[in-house]
Amino acid sequence: MIISYAKYRALLKEKEVNSYHVSKATGIHQATLSDWKTGRSSPKTDKLYLLAKYFGVSMEYFVEEEN
Tell me the pLDDT of the chain (67 aa) as tens digits. 688 999 999 999 999 999 999 999 999 999 999 999 999 998 999 999 999 999 999 999 999 876 5
User: What is this structure's pTM?
Assistant: 0.88
pLDDT of residue 67: 59
What is the domain partition of the chain in residue ranges? 2-64
Asked if CATH classification 1.10.260.40 holds for the domain at 2-64, the reply, yes or no, is yes
SS (H, E, C) 31-55: HHHHHHHHCCCCCCHHHHHHHHHHH
Greatest CA span in the chain, whole angstroms?
34
